A and B are shown apart, each in its own frame.
Chain A
Amino acid sequence: MELIHKNLPALIVVLPLCMGLLTSIIGRRGLGWWMAMATTGAVFAMSGQLLWNVMHDGAYQITYQMGSWPAPFGIVYIVDPLNASVLMVVSTIAAVLTLYARKSVASEIQKNRLHFFYALWLFCTTGLLGITITGDAFNLYVLLEISSLSTYTLVALGRARNRRALTAAINYLVLGSIGANFYLLGIAYLYQVTGSLNMADIHHILVNQVFPTWGGDAPQYRTTVIVGFAFMAVGLSLKLALFPLHGWLPNAYTYSPSAVSGLLASTATKVGAYAFIRVIFTIVGVDFAFGLLHTDTALMVSAGAAIIIGAWLALKQTNLKKMLAYSSIGQIGYITLGFSLNNVNGLTASIIHLFNHALTKGSMFMALGVVVYRLGNARITDVRGLGRQLPVTMGVFVVGGLGLIGVPLTAGFISKWYLVTGAIQAGRYEMAAVVLVGSILALMYVWRVVEQIYFGKRDENAPKLREAPLTMLVPMVLLAAASIYFGIDARATSWVSQTAAELLLGVKL
């Protein structure tokens, strides 16, 4: 027990990796699901423990050295309130979705590929957890590739239902690889200047040795650092699907298997956003990114456009999965807007929205997954009049929809409250207005579906549908209930997020 406690930061990444490998060897005949379930359950418990430990740690930091090499030379895993909360998001969603995946995936993927599916599922989780926990900029790239490569394959596995999954996966692969390689290139530039790959060490060298020389004898470093940061920013924007770079997202979400859509929407882009926050606040520092380069203005414009245009495009979709995908682009806008405001409330909004949106979107994609499970498709005409036949599923969808709008007593409200407060504090009234307009558009696209669900008439001759199987219902209801719970009692989530935000901005010492 003591051993596990001491090595939690390493085990949280190594365990799903090893189990994923084992699953690909011995995971046939349904064993794969059990292994995935046990692993994600264990990972959930571990990240809970880590979050607890770090929040009750005086320095708000847990450091773990890989191998016998000390910090700037070897790889260190660092847990602080920010990434502990992101770990929590990833592991919660992974555990809940694994439970959900059993029936859903079995109906959408060939039987002889199921063990590979769960292996990839665990690799994806490994990568996402690793990106979140690592304190090494290059290690982050490696884990980014682990999660991305498995995600491309997971998306492509949707081909049994719709062959367009293949083009979506290729599209995602090309753009995702460009994103990852831009990030790698950026790291290379920074490495050239600082000679270090450790995030904290890069920051330390930049602030103490590189920035002060800019006026004097080493002006050439200036361009190198700026170009390096630009590559990283663009690469990560691609990964997190920030507005003009969101092209891969809608189709990848729409055509992948339902469980994969849920995992992607709730965790993959969130982890991308986390990495972006890390790059800006931990690696290059706010003074450089926002003070010198005015990245915040660019991010705000992108985020504002994402919120409005994402919601507007969502309004026009007839495929509900695609509607949720466009809505996700808008939600990513909220997250980006939050941290570009560069104040405690804005950053808190970002971090808390990572969690709240994961709950909301996760549950909505799961609800649509049930529709796909029963009907084979999820167009807006398919859900017409389903309110009576699938009361629980549709209830979950509506709760999620309310969360997207940001109705009080749902988790979405808490995020938007912080966001609007932050925008007003920063003197960005127009951004506060954008958030409100985005909410109104969200109201419109959610209402459009709700109207069909409860007031539409289902075809008389259409077969009567049964409610989803229990293994799909329970995880869905759990997430929806959590999103309401954290909308009413947000003490825990805002405590963690606010601490993380204060630590990032250096307000809390």
Chain B
Amino acid sequence: MKDNVLMRVAARWNMPFLIIFALYTQTHGELGPGGGFQAGVMIAAAFIVYGMVFGAADMQRIVPRWLTDILAALGVLIYAGTGIYCLTQGYAFLDYTAIIPSNPGGAEPWGMVSVEWGVGITVASVMMTIFNEITEGTLPGQEHESHDTEMVGKA
């Protein structure tokens, strides 16, 4: 699809808007419709569209696979970490009151924002990982990393 001007321009010019809207959805999640899941999917969509037009190898230059692997885990860790932080402050797991004990109502959004960022990061990286897995081996010059040649054990 790289040869098609329309596709190239559309993919390139849509990217900032997709990302901006994703960030809006992400940061606005606790007040309006949206949240980490939707934002994560949109961020991933921005990169995946780019990858579909310019090839997954190009996309992986921007977002390498080791990065998505780490971010996928990191997002959940942010989520769980928020819970654990509350727990260490003497409150229950994920009881956001712990963040600002004097103002539980004000603490709630902060807790939600931090949890939603975790969700967003994980969803975005997992979506990209799925895309990478699907395209793996279908691109010229990018062989599927073979596991079968290195048989292990004493079979």
Over the window 145-177 of chain A, the binary record of Cβ atoms lying under 8 Å from chain B Cβ atoms (1 yes, 0 no) is 000000000000001111000000000000000
- Whether the pair B87, A3 counts as a contact (CB closer than 8 A) is yes
* Closest chain B residue, CB of each to CB of A21: B73
Q: Which residues of A contact B88 (CB under 8 A)?
A: 3
Say yes or no: is A22 at the interface (Cβ < 8 Å to chain B). Answer: yes
Over the window 63-94 of chain A, the binary record of Cβ atoms lying under 8 Å from chain B Cβ atoms (1 yes, 0 no) is 01111100000000000000000000000000
- Whether the pair A68, B84 counts as a contact (CB closer than 8 A) is no
- Whether the pair B87, A25 counts as a contact (CB closer than 8 A) is no
- Whether the pair A21, B151 counts as a contact (CB closer than 8 A) is no
* Distance of B111 from chain A, by nearest CB (Å): 9
Q: Which residues of B contact A244 (CB under 8 A)?
A: none
Known contacts A7-B87, A25-B70, A14 near B93 by CB under 8 Å:
yes
- Whether the pair B152, A108 counts as a contact (CB closer than 8 A) is yes
Contact check: which of B77, B91, B95, B154 meets A22 at CB < 8 Å? B77
- Whether the pair A10, B92 counts as a contact (CB closer than 8 A) is yes
- Whether the pair A22, B152 counts as a contact (CB closer than 8 A) is no
The docked-state distance in angstroms from the alpha carbon of A18 to that of B77 is 6
Q: Which residues of B contact A389 (CB under 8 A)?
A: none
Say yes or no: is A53 at the interface (Cβ < 8 Å to chain B). Answer: no
Q: Which residues of B contact A24 (CB under 8 A)?
A: 69, 73
Say yes or no: is B22 at the interface (Cβ < 8 Å to chain A). Answer: no
* Closest chain B residue, CB of each to CB of A157: B147
Q: Which residues of B contact A68 (CB under 8 A)?
A: 91-92, 95-97, 104
Within 8 A of B (CB), among A1-47: 3, 7, 10-11, 14, 17-18, 21-22, 24-25
- Whether the pair B152, A110 counts as a contact (CB closer than 8 A) is yes
Q: Which residues of B contact A21 (CB under 8 A)?
A: 73-74, 76-77, 80
Say yes or no: is A200 at the interface (Cβ < 8 Å to chain B). Answer: no
Say yes or no: is B31 at the interface (Cβ < 8 Å to chain A). Answer: no
- Whether the pair B90, A3 counts as a contact (CB closer than 8 A) is yes
* Closest chain B residue, CB of each to CB of A69: B95
The docked-state distance in angstroms from the alpha carbon of A66 to that of B111 is 14
Known contacts A3-B87, A24-B73, A25-B70, A376 near B93 by CB under 8 Å:
no
- Whether the pair A109, B69 counts as a contact (CB closer than 8 A) is no
Say yes or no: is B155 at the interface (Cβ < 8 Å to chain A). Answer: yes
Say yes or no: is B40 at the interface (Cβ < 8 Å to chain A). Answer: no
Over the window 48-90 of chain B, the binary record of Cβ atoms lying under 8 Å from chain A Cβ atoms (1 yes, 0 no) is 0000000000000000000001100110110011011001101
The docked-state distance in angstroms from the alpha carbon of A38 to that of B134 is 35
Say yes or no: is B127 at the interface (Cβ < 8 Å to chain A). Answer: no
Say yes or no: is B3 at the interface (Cβ < 8 Å to chain A). Answer: no
Say yes or no: is A421 at the interface (Cβ < 8 Å to chain B). Answer: no
* Closest chain B residue, CB of each to CB of A374: B154
Within 8 A of A (CB), among B137-155: 147, 150-155
* Distance of B108 from chain A, by nearest CB (Å): 9
Say yes or no: is A107 at the interface (Cβ < 8 Å to chain B). Answer: yes
Say yes or no: is A375 at the interface (Cβ < 8 Å to chain B). Answer: yes
Within 8 A of B (CB), among A103-140: 107-111, 113
- Whether the pair A376, B154 counts as a contact (CB closer than 8 A) is yes
- Whether the pair A107, B69 counts as a contact (CB closer than 8 A) is no
- Whether the pair B73, A109 counts as a contact (CB closer than 8 A) is no
- Whether the pair A160, B147 counts as a contact (CB closer than 8 A) is yes
Known contacts A7-B87, A17-B76, A66 near B93 by CB under 8 Å:
yes
Q: Which residues of B contact A161 (CB under 8 A)?
A: 153, 155
* Distance of A32 from chain B, by nearest CB (Å): 13
- Whether the pair B92, A17 counts as a contact (CB closer than 8 A) is no
* Distance of B114 from chain A, by nearest CB (Å): 14
Sample (21) of A-B pairs whose CB atoms are under 8 Å apart:
A3-B90, A7-B87, A14-B84, A18-B84, A21-B73, A21-B77, A21-B80, A22-B77, A25-B74, A66-B92, A66-B94, A67-B94, A107-B154, A108-B153, A110-B147, A113-B147, A160-B147, A160-B153, A161-B155, A162-B155, A376-B155
Which A residues are within 8 Å of any B CB, using their own CB?
3, 7, 10-11, 14, 17-18, 21-22, 24-25, 64-68, 107-111, 113, 159-162, 373-376
